Chain A
Amino acid sequence: MGEALLKISESVNDGICVITPSGDIDAHTAPQFKEAIEKNIASGNIRIVFDFSSLNYISSAGIGLLNAALNSLKGKGGKMSIACATPSVNDTLEVMYFTRKVPVRKNIDSAKKDV
């Protein structure tokens, strides 16, 4: 089993930041994902949509990071939403109870309405 790879793209439009990770979020790539989230929150992007359309795998390390981001955003009056999760990622988010905290939307426009 080789090390997972992760690419992250970001865009900000109308005050909403869309973060799109491509690949796997696991213990090896979690620091990279964490840096992207923290950098955006620190620069004032507190309305965040995660576009998971190109995410193949997320472990509890990644879900833990999303949970940390959620708590950080709540503290700053911000919000987050998730869009376009692939079936396997959606399954993991659901059984780890994260979808109870943040809903997963079918498309980015719906997710933007949440934030």
Chain B
Amino acid sequence: MEEKVKTRTGYVLEMVKNIRILALNGKNNFRKYLFDPLYEAGWYNDTSRQSTVKLIERMKEQERDPSFIHTIAPQCKRLICYSMAEGLSALGNSSIFFLEKIQWDQRVSLSSESIEFTDIIMPPLNEFMKMNSENNEKLFTEAVASAKKDEILTAFVPVRLSSGGGKIKLDSEIKRLYNNIQIASKYQNIPKCMKLLSTYIIQYSDNDDYARGDVEKLIDAMTKREPGFDTDLKNTMAIDLYYRIRKSVHSGEIRTTIQAIRKYGYIFEGDSSAKHFYDIDRLERILYKIITEKDLWKELKKESRGQ
């Protein structure tokens, strides 16, 4: 059972992101793909006298005490049951709260409540994301096609760190990362180490002076200590970037979309096993086609040369 749960936790971050995307797609979808499946599974409970915000606050206070760890999953289940009676927003927040607990502590992820919860919500969320993916391409095409010329051009402007202050900043950032990982690692906080590394890589990997060697050493060291760390990190970054792309497509922030596509390319270096590899590739083809149609290549090149 432990192996099954370990594999499942790889999908938890994706479920969190999917719920956030679902929330952007209207009440009807939220009800259909999250509320209804839980309701049909008998999770609805309208007997609580406290708001979910208060319940979450109380749980946060309790979790400082390690002896409460085994109560987290049952309490989260109750929280979700009560939140369903409070409203869709409360249900979304409670679901994300529970998923984050599952993601951050294996003792929580091994509980029967966690397994039951993810078993209920994973199939409908996957169904929603599949349906939404096609719509996403349509939205992306419309967003790029209607984007202002300047908006597309500035999306390709590189972050230049090669000279002066920029290089110094990047050097100090890698030192800071190293120190923070040492501290997190000392306290066995593997998820924190992963978060620190993924944030750093996503932010700086497409820069000229990205400290690739140092980052790889850190990942190797963490993977020796926690087998599977490298794969989980890869999944975390792919999901994070894909979520940025989908969210920015939805809100018409074309600059963020383009930057995230480029970062994905540099981080995964054509690795077809990376999550969302083919989805992102399709969006990229659409983007280049529209740039060609709008005859923007010449100006894009000027921007990328800093002219």
A51 at the interface (CB under 8 A from B): no
Q: With a CB–CB cut-off of 8 A, which chain A residues contact B193?
A: none
Is there contact, CB below 8 Å, between B288 and A33?
A: no
> With an 8 A cutoff between CB atoms, is A71 at the interface?
yes
Q: Does A63 contact B (CB under 8 A)?
A: yes
- Give Cα A28 to B279, complex, Å: 11
Task: Say whether B301 contacts A94, CB under 8 Å.
Answer: yes
B-contacting 9-mer, from A11-19, A41-49, A54-62, A76-84? A54-62
Question: Contact check: which of B156, B266, B300 meets A60 at CB < 8 Å?
Answer: B266
> Across the interface, which residues of B come within 8 angstroms of A91, CB to CB?
297, 300-301
Q: Which of B158, B285, B301 is A59 in contact with, Cβ under 8 Å? A: B285
| A95, B301: Cβ atoms closer than 8 Å | yes
Q: Which among B208, B212, B265 has the highest number of chain A CB atoms within 10 Å? A: B265
Against A, the Cβ 8 Å flags (1 = close, 0 = not) of B263-274 are: 011111111100
Known A27-B281, A100-B208; judge A64-B304 contact (CB<8 A). no
Q: State A94–B292 Cα separation when bound (angstroms).
A: 14
Q: Digit string of B136-166 for contact with A (CB within 8 Å is 1, else 0)?
A: 0000000000000000000010100000000
A96 engages B297 (CB within 8 Å): no
Picked from B158, B265, B288, B292, the residue with its CB within 8 Å of the CB of A61 is: B265
Q: Does B234 contact A (CB under 8 A)?
A: no
- Contact check, B281 vs A64: say whether CB atoms are below 8 A apart: no
Check if B167 is an interface residue, CB within 8 A of chain A.
no
Query: In the complex where A31-B272, A60-B284 touch, is A96 in contact with B262 (Cβ < 8 A)?
Result: yes
The answer to whether B281 touches A61 (Cβ under 8 A) is yes
| Binary interface encoding of chain B residues 282-307 relative to chain A, with 1 for a CB under 8 A from any of its CBs, else 0 | 10110010001000010011011100
Chain A residues with CB under 8 A of B261? 60
Bound-complex Cα distance A88 to B293 (A): 12
B278 at the interface (CB under 8 A from A): yes
Query: Is B206 an interface residue when CB atoms closer than 8 A count as contact?
Result: yes
Q: Assuming the A-B contacts A27-B277, A30-B270, A60-B265, are A97 and B297 also in contact, with contact meaning beta carbons closer than 8 angstroms in the complex?
A: no
Contact, CB under 8 Å: A34 / B301: no
Q: How many A-B residue pairs have CB under 8 A?
A: 77
Our pick among A27, A60, A94 for the contact of B304 (Cβ within 8 Å) is: A94
B residues contacting the other copy or chain, number (CB 8 A): 31
Which residue of chain A is the closest to B261 with respect to CB atoms?
Answer: A60
Q: Is the CB of B270 within 8 A of A62?
A: yes
**B281 and A68 contact, CB distance less than 8 A:** no
| CA distance in complex: A27, B268 (Å) | 11
Contact B265 A97 (CB under 8 A): no
Complex CA distance for A57 and B266, rounded to whole angstroms:
17
The answer on a CB contact under 8 Å between B292 and A60 is no
Contacts of B269 in A (CB 8 A): 64-65, 67-68
Residue of A nearest to B281 (CB): A27
A64: contacting residue among B268, B282, B297, B303, CB under 8 A: B268
Q: Which residues of A contact B212 (CB under 8 A)?
A: 71
Chain B residues lying within 8 Å of A31, measured Cβ to Cβ, are: 270, 272
A81 to B52, CA, bound (A): 60
A59 near B281: Cβ-Cβ < 8 Å: yes
Contacts of B270 in A (CB 8 A): 30-31, 33-34, 61-62, 64-65, 68
By Cβ-Cβ distance, the 5 closest A-B pairs, closest first, are A60-B265, A27-B281, A65-B270, A64-B269, A68-B269
A selection of 11 A-B contacts at a CB cut-off of 8 Å is A26-B281, A27-B278, A34-B270, A60-B264, A62-B270, A64-B266, A71-B212, A94-B301, A95-B297, A97-B206, A97-B208
* Chain B residues within 8 Å of A, Cβ to Cβ: 156, 158, 206, 208, 212, 261-262, 264-272, 277-278, 280-282, 284-285, 288, 292, 297, 300-301, 303-305
Q: A61-B268, A61-B270, A95-B301 are in contact. List 17 more A-B contacts (CB 8 A).
A: A1-B285, A26-B281, A26-B285, A27-B272, A28-B281, A34-B270, A57-B285, A59-B284, A60-B261, A60-B264, A60-B265, A60-B266, A61-B265, A64-B271, A71-B212, A94-B301, A95-B300
